[in-house]
């Protein structure tokens, strides 16, 4: 039985890793670009990339107003990160 204990511990460790919910990475591209700008990013670990889709802004809306429109696309119930470029970076900061 003793020789199986390290194997059981190792198996339990990998089972825990497999059950871990991935960290969501929300991708905010710049104006005039899309999620393809991030395609070379290949982090090691358990991550799920989610591109943000920009709606057409209302005339006269502020950056804060526009960021509020994007909140519906973001799930904050688990771990998450933002990556933004240009306009996307400003929106990340606003959020």
pLDDT of residue 34: 87
pLDDT higher than threshold 60 for residue 7 = no
pLDDT one-digit tens code per residue, 32-58: 898 899 999 988 899 999 999 999 999
Going by C-beta distance under 8 Å and a sequence separation of 6 or more, which residues neighbour residue 22? 46, 47, 48
With cut-offs at 50, 70 and 90, classify the pLDDT of residue 17: low
pLDDT of residue 18: 54
For the chain, give the percent of residues with pLDDT over 70: 80
The pTM of this model reads: 0.76
Distance CA 91, CA 49 (A): 17
């Amino acid at each position: 039985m003793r020789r199986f204990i390290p194997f059981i511990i190792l198996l339990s460790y990998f089972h825990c890793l497999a059950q871990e919910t991935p960290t969501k990475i929300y991708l905010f591209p710049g104006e005039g670009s899309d999620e393809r700008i991030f395609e070379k990013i290949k982090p090691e670990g358990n991550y799920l990339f989610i591109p943000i889709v920009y709606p057409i802004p209302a005339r006269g809306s502020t950056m804060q107003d526009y960021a509020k429109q994007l909140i519906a696309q973001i799930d904050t119930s688990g771990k998450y990160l933002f990556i933004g470029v240009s306009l996307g970076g400003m929106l990340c900061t606003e959020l």
